[in-house]
Structure 1
Amino acid sequence: MNILVTGATGFVGRRVCARLQKSQSYNLSSAVRQSGSNPPGSEVVIHEVDGQTSWQCALKNQQVVIHTAARAHIMNDEVADPLAEYRRVNVDGTLNLARQAAEAGVRRLIYISSVKVNGEQTPAGCPFTAEDAAAPADPYGVSKLESEMQLRQLAKDTGMEVVIIRPSLVYGPGAKGNFATMVRLVAKGLPLPLGSIRNRRSLLALDNLVDLIVTCISHPNAANQTFLAADGEDLSTTELLRGVANAMGIPSRLIPVPAGLLQFGATLLGQKALARRLLGSLQVDIEHTRKCLNWTPPLTVEQGLRHCFEIRQD
């Protein structure tokens, strides 16, 4: 089977390519923005991803496209109009690729979206489901929702199958953002006032996401479905920090400070968004994903964290 992976040098794309390259069942083409990136598979240079990108050469004879390329969620965005920039890449760029893929005879497009389409927070014990009404709260989430909507319409208009995957927080070797910040703090051995947080958050090991993506390449039940993705084990911030420390082989230094006091302090300091990520819950229900695909995440959270740091040491 001929497969094109976009964003082949990114956090998710590179791992997907490495997995596919190990199998004799796939002929892999890796789309990158500049030559010399040395991704697994045959390199195809496409430069910018937007509404004007020509994918003609990259799509020739392809049967499946796995679209991981995107303008990722940026914590402190400095562009004048973040939503316009997200739309340029994530909406216009995605739809442009999908249209050309359909015209080229691609059978299935797998789109890596985000749980941010659902929203930013859930009451503890009330996880998001794939059937919930979308409620994105930032420009990144809005752009992902808009791209999903246009992909579904394109699937109806052209007959090309579309599979949408909404991952929760993805962690693994080379992860950036909140997870990387947390790892650095734990590694420094700094005492952290997060020893009594009782929220619940869904996580997703990178290898579990890759396994789900590969499952969706040919599974007949995946066509035109939306799947939430997580490890299936929800942790509190306290449990996650202890798990990271344990995986790194170092002691966790967590001070039990009441969550209410932390929330109050964060509000005074203008850090409500940070408090939401550390103290709030964000759970996803993957029952539909499990049943529809007969899929079980191959790694537990403990295994995923340990594997993450084992790879870092190799």
Structure 2
Amino acid sequence: MNILLTGSSGFLGSRLCTRLKNHDVKKLIRELSLSKESDNYIYCDNLSCFNNKLAFSNVDVLIHCAARVHIMDDTSTNPLDDYREVNTEGTLNLARQAVEAGVKRFIFISSIKVNGESTQLGKPFKFDDQRSPEDFYGQSKSEAEEQLLQLAKDTGLEVVIIRPTLVYGPGVKANFASLLNLVSKGLPLPFGCIKDNKRSLVSVDNLVDLIVTCIDHPKAANQVFLVSDDNDVSTNEMVQQMAKALGKSQWQVPIPTACYRLVGKVTGKEDVISRLLGSLQVDITHTKDTLGWKPPQTLEDGFKQTANAFLQSKLKD
């Protein structure tokens, strides 16, 4: 199978490259020097302006992982336009050129933020729920999805949309890494009362496995798939799993959730507190039933793999 991959140097893309070793993979990259080393590296500094027919030549499937990701404390003067330029216009630019070149399938890595920011406990997002993004990142991804599906109807391009939840794994950054680092210190943590929420997570290996499944699965065409480890956990349970994976004992202080909400209101960080206390669940029944797929890695094994990589990195520091 001939594949064109974007975002190959990222957290997900680099892991995906390892799984695609048996395929002929061309990669759109932003490193100009690297693009001169091999015909399989194609320089692309701006997705919305990219125009290179050779990049799409003999390509069967395009896997689009590159994106302008969600940025905390964004300093852009017009963030929505910036997100749209990459995530919407850039995506559609690639898709249109793929159509012209006769590419059969376009796999778009979207985001659960297209569905929204939170769910009521026990009422997970489903694949056919109405899109309801609440931030610019989610909006740009939602608009890309809508236009891709219309392009599929107009041209016959097979579009596959995958909306991951929070992705973790070896080398993970941001909030998950910060919490893992905190748990690794073995100190008492104030999450003892955060037991009544549930969050869906997905290991990077489970996400990669789903993407690979969608490369040539006949039933994947023009579908939207939600993905998780299929094992939702509360904040309290997540910390317990991290501690177990790190080989640390863990005592969680039972601070009432009302105290968190008060702190959030006083500090202006109510959105942060809401994510800590709230739920975000997805129902992956449609994904499993349509593709005959299930996550090959358990949440426990995913956490252990992530913790081992974290500990190894600490030894090198």
TM range (shorter): over 0.9
- Return structure 1 stretches of 4+ with deviation > 6 angstroms: none
The one-letter code matched in structure 1 to 2:168 is Y
On the 8 A contact 1:71/1:89 being kept in 2, the answer is: yes
Alignment pair present for 1:284 and 2:253? no
In structure 1, the partner of 2:188 is 191
Alignment pair present for 1:12 and 2:12? yes
Aligned partner (choices 133, 136, 151) of residue 136 of structure 1: 133
Give the secondary-structure state (helix, strand or coil) at the position aligned to 2:200.
strand
> In 1, distance between residues paired with 2:160 and 2:20?
18
The number of residues matched between the two structures is 309
> In 1, distance between residues paired with 2:197 and 2:144?
31
Would the alpha carbon gap of residues 202 and 73 (structure 1) be closer, same or farther in structure 2, given more than 3 Å must change? same
Would the alpha carbon gap of residues 36 and 309 (structure 1) be closer, same or farther in structure 2, given more than 3 Å must change? farther
On the 8 A contact 1:50/1:89 being kept in 2, the answer is: yes
1:210-225 pair list within 5 angstroms: 210-225=208-223
Mean CA deviation greater in 27-36 or 158-167: 27-36
> In 2, distance between residues paired with 1:137 and 1:292?
28
Mean CA deviation greater in 161-170 or 29-38: 29-38
The one-letter code matched in structure 2 to 1:227 is F
1:228-243 pair list within 5 angstroms: 228-243=226-241
On the 8 A contact 2:112/2:164 being kept in 1, the answer is: yes
On the 8 A contact 2:29/2:45 being kept in 1, the answer is: no
Aligned partner (choices 43, 46, 54) of residue 46 of structure 1: 43
User: TM-score, with normalisation over the residues of structure 1?
Assistant: 0.95
Give the secondary-structure state (helix, strand or coil) at the position aligned to 1:126.
coil
Any unmatched runs of 5+ in structure 2? none
> In 2, distance between residues paired with 1:77 and 1:57?
35
In structure 2, the partner of 1:205 is 203
> In 1, distance between residues paired with 2:42 and 2:173?
25
RMSD across aligned positions (CA): 1.6
On the 8 A contact 1:2/1:27 being kept in 2, the answer is: yes
In structure 2, the partner of 1:250 is 248
1:45-64 pair list within 5 angstroms: 45-64=42-61
> In 2, distance between residues paired with 1:210 and 1:306?
18
Mean CA deviation greater in 283-292 or 187-196: 187-196
Would the alpha carbon gap of residues 129 and 42 (structure 1) be closer, same or farther in structure 2, given more than 3 Å must change? farther
Give the secondary-structure state (helix, strand or coil) at the position aligned to 2:20.
helix
> In 2, distance between residues paired with 1:42 and 1:136?
39
> In 2, distance between residues paired with 1:188 and 1:85?
38
On the 8 A contact 2:188/2:253 being kept in 1, the answer is: yes
What's the CA shift for 1:19? 0.6
The one-letter code matched in structure 1 to 2:179 is M
The one-letter code matched in structure 2 to 1:118 is N
The percentage of aligned residue pairs carrying the same residue is: 51
> In 1, distance between residues paired with 2:129 and 2:199?
18
Alignment pair present for 1:71 and 2:68? yes
On the 8 A contact 1:34/1:45 being kept in 2, the answer is: no
> In 1, distance between residues paired with 2:264 and 2:189?
14
What's the CA shift for 1:158? 1.1
Give the secondary-structure state (helix, strand or coil) at the position aligned to 1:201.
coil
> In 1, distance between residues paired with 2:237 and 2:133?
27
What's the CA shift for 1:37? 5.4
User: TM-score, with normalisation over the residues of structure 2?
Assistant: 0.94
On the 8 A contact 2:191/2:252 being kept in 1, the answer is: yes
Any unmatched runs of 5+ in structure 1? none
In structure 2, the partner of 1:300 is 298
- 1:233-265 Cα offsets, whole Å, 9 max, x none, are 000011101111211112224211111221222
> In 2, distance between residues paired with 1:115 and 1:30?
25
The one-letter code matched in structure 2 to 1:216 is C
The one-letter code matched in structure 1 to 2:189 is L
On the 8 A contact 1:6/1:31 being kept in 2, the answer is: yes
On the 8 A contact 1:95/1:150 being kept in 2, the answer is: yes
> In 2, distance between residues paired with 1:268 and 1:142?
29
- 1:69-116 Cα offsets, whole Å, 9 max, x none, are 000111111111111100000001000000001111100010000000
In structure 1, the partner of 2:175 is 178
The one-letter code matched in structure 1 to 2:255 is V
Aligned partner (choices 270, 273, 277) of residue 272 of structure 1: 270
What's the CA shift for 1:36? 5.0
Give the secondary-structure state (helix, strand or coil) at the position aligned to 1:234.
coil
> In 1, distance between residues paired with 2:180 and 2:88?
32
The one-letter code matched in structure 2 to 1:71 is R
On the 8 A contact 2:225/2:287 being kept in 1, the answer is: yes
What's the CA shift for 1:224? 0.2
Mean CA deviation greater in 189-198 or 125-134: 189-198
What's the CA shift for 1:191? 3.0
The one-letter code matched in structure 2 to 1:130 is F
What's the CA shift for 1:143? 0.3
The one-letter code matched in structure 1 to 2:43 is I
On the 8 A contact 2:26/2:42 being kept in 1, the answer is: no
What's the CA shift for 1:310? 2.7
What's the CA shift for 1:162? 0.3
